[in-house]
C-alpha cells in the first residue's frame, strides 16, 4: 500500500472516530450525564492515557521549556478547556452533526483573522468560501424555521463559541507547533484543560458517580478512541500527506456523524439542513484547496524536494 494511501486512510479513520465519539457523548447526555461531567472525565482520562503512551513510546515529547509553560497554560487551561466544554454542551442541545458543522467553520474564521490582522490577501475564493459557510450554517441550524431556531438557540450559541475558541486554538497551537511536535502540544493542552476542570469542579468527581458499565464503556470509547487514537491516526496521516489534504479529508467527520447519529440516535436532518451541510463542507474544501495551491510555490517545491521524506510534523 502506498504511503499516501495509508495517509488518507488514517485521516478518514480519525474523522470517523471523532464523529462516533460525538454520537457517544450525545448518548451519555440522553442517559442523564451533564456536559460538565463529561468534559472533566474526558480531558482528565485523556491526559492520563497520553502520558502513559508518550512516556513509553516517546518520553522526549513530554519535555517543554519553562518559558513556554505560560503559553501552554493559555492554550490548554483556557482555550482547550473551553473548546471541549462548548462543543459537548452544543451536542447536548442540538443535533450532533449541526454542532460539528458549526465548529468546522473554524478554518473560515482563521482565514478572516489572517486577512484582517496578518495582512493576508483577500481573494475571490476566500470571499466565496465565507458566503458558502455562512449560508450553509444558516440552513444547518434551521434558521429558516423560527420555531426550530428558538428551540436550539442556546445550543447554536454554544457551537459558535466552540468554533471561535477552536479558531483560537488553531492560531495559538500553530505557533506552539513551530517549537514542539504536535503530540507535545496536544498533551499539554489536555493536561492544563484537565487542571482547569478539576478546579472548576470537585477534583476527580467522576470517580464518585454511579455510572453503569454501559456508560463507562461509552466514556472509555470517547477517551481512548475518540481522543487519543483519533489524534494519533490524524498525525500519522499528516505524516504521509500534506496537512491541507488532511484537513479536506477530515471533512468526513460531519458526514460520518450524520450517518452514525441517524443510525444510533435517530437524528435526521431535513433536506435544507443537508443542503446546508454540503455548502459548509464545500466551503472548507475550497478554502483548503486554495491554501495548498498558494503554498506550492516553485521555491517551496524545490525546498520540499531537498527535505527527507517521512519526517513527522514538527
Task: Read off the pLDDT band of 304 (50, 70, 90).
Answer: very low
C-alpha cell at 227: 481522543
The helix (H) or strand (E) run that includes residue 185 is helix 182-200
Task: Read off the pLDDT band of 314 (50, 70, 90).
Answer: very low
Distance, in Å, from the CA atom of 284 to the CA atom of 10, rounded to the nearest integer, reads: 20
Distance, in Å, from the CA atom of 166 to the CA atom of 174, rounded to the nearest integer, reads: 12
182-200 vs 153-176: helix crossing angle, rounded to 10? 130
- Which of 8, 14, 5, 10 lies closest to 256, judged by CA? 14
CB 99 within 8 A of CB 18: no
User: What pLDDT is stored for residue 7 in this prediction?
Assistant: 86
CB 64 within 8 A of CB 180: yes
User: What pLDDT is stored for residue 14 in this prediction?
Assistant: 92
Task: Read off the pLDDT band of 307 (50, 70, 90).
Answer: very low
pLDDT (tens digit, 9 = 90+) per residue, 9-48?
Answer: 999 999 999 999 999 999 999 999 999 999 999 999 999 9
Q: Which has the higher per-residue pLDDT, 54 or 284?
A: 54
Contacts of 314 by beta carbon, 8 Å cutoff, 6+ apart: 177, 178, 181
Distance, in Å, from the CA atom of 69 to the CA atom of 178, rounded to the nearest integer, reads: 15
Give whole-number Cα distances, 310 to 11, 30, 238, in Å. Answer: 16, 44, 10
Task: Read off the pLDDT band of 57 (50, 70, 90).
Answer: very high
Mean pLDDT of 262-276: 90
Distance, in Å, from the CA atom of 37 to the CA atom of 31, rounded to the nearest integer, reads: 12
User: What pLDDT is stored for residue 269 in this prediction?
Assistant: 84
Residue 134 confidence (pLDDT) above 90: no
User: What pLDDT is stored for residue 268 in this prediction?
Assistant: 86
Map residue 137 onto helix, strand or coil.
Answer: helix
Task: Read off the pLDDT band of 89 (50, 70, 90).
Answer: very high
Distance, in Å, from the CA atom of 48 to the CA atom of 139, rounded to the nearest integer, reads: 39
User: What pLDDT is stored for residue 168 in this prediction?
Assistant: 92
Lowest mean pLDDT among 147-161, 167-181, 239-253: 239-253
Percent of the chain with pLDDT over 90: 50
Residue 59 confidence (pLDDT) above 50: yes
Distance, in Å, from the CA atom of 312 to the CA atom of 1, rounded to the nearest integer, reads: 19
C-alpha cell at 149: 431556531
User: What pLDDT is stored for residue 294 in this prediction?
Assistant: 67
Give whole-number Cα distances, 295 to 4, 37, 122, 281, 284, in Å. Answer: 19, 42, 15, 21, 17
Global pTM reads 0.85
CB 47 within 8 A of CB 77: no
Lowest mean pLDDT among 56-65, 266-275, 291-300: 291-300
Task: Read off the pLDDT band of 72 (50, 70, 90).
Answer: very high
pLDDT (tens digit, 9 = 90+) per residue, 115-133?
Answer: 888 777 888 888 888 888 8
Residue 146 confidence (pLDDT) above 60: yes
Amino acid at each position: 500500500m502506498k504511503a499516501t494511501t495509508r495517509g488518507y486512510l488514517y485521516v478518514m479513520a480519525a474523522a470517523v472516530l471523532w464523529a462516533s465519539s460525538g454520537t457517544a457523548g450525545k448518548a451519555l447526555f440522553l442517559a442523564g450525564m451533564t456536559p460538565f461531567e463529561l468534559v472533566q472525565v474526558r480531558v482528565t482520562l485523556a491526559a492520563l492515557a497520553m502520558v502513559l503512551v508518550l512516556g513509553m513510546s516517546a518520553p522526549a515529547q513530554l519535555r517543554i521549556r519553562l518559558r513556554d509553560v505560560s503559553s501552554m497554560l493559555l492554550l490548554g487551561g483556557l482555550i482547550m478547556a473551553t473548546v471541549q466544554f462548548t462543543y459537548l454542551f452544543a451536542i447536548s442541545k442540538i443535533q450532533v452533526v449541526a454542532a460539528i458543522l458549526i465548529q468546522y467553520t473554524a478554518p473560515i474564521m482563521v482565514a478572516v483573522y489572517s486577512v484582517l490582522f496578518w495582512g493576508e490577501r483577500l481573494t475571490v475564493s476566500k470571499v466565496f468560501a465565507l458566503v458558502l459557510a455562512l449560508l450553509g450554517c444558516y440552513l444547518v441550524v434551521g434558521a429558516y424555521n423560527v420555531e426550530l431556531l428558538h428551540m436550539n438557540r442556546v445550543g447554536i450559541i454554544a457551537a459558535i463559541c466552540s468554533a471561535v475558541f477552536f479558531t483560537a486554538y488553531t492560531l495559538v497551537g500553530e505557533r506552539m507547533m513551530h517549537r514542539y511536535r504536535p503530540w507535545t502540544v496536544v498533551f499539554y493542552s489536555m493536561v492544563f484543560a484537565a487542571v482547569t476542570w478539576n478546579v472548576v469542579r470537585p477534583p476527580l468527581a467522576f470517580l464518585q458517580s454511579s455510572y453503569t458499565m454501559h456508560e463507562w464503556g461509552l466514556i472509555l470509547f470517547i477517551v481512548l478512541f475518540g481522543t487519543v487514537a483519533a489524534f494519533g491516526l490524524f498525525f500519522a496521516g499528516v505524516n504521509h500527506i500534506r496537512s491541507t489534504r488532511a484537513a479536506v479529508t477530515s471533512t468526513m467527520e460531519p458526514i460520518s456523524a450524520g450517518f452514525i447519529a441517524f443510525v444510533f440516535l435517530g437524528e435526521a436532518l431535513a433536506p435544507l439542513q443537508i443542503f446546508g451541510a454540503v455548502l459548509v463542507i464545500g466551503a472548507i474544501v475550497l478554502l483548503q484547496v486554495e491554501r495548498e495551491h498558494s503554498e506550492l510555490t516553485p521555491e517551496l517545491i524545490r525546498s520540499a524536494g531537498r527535505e527527507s521524506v517521512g519526517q513527522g510534523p514538527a
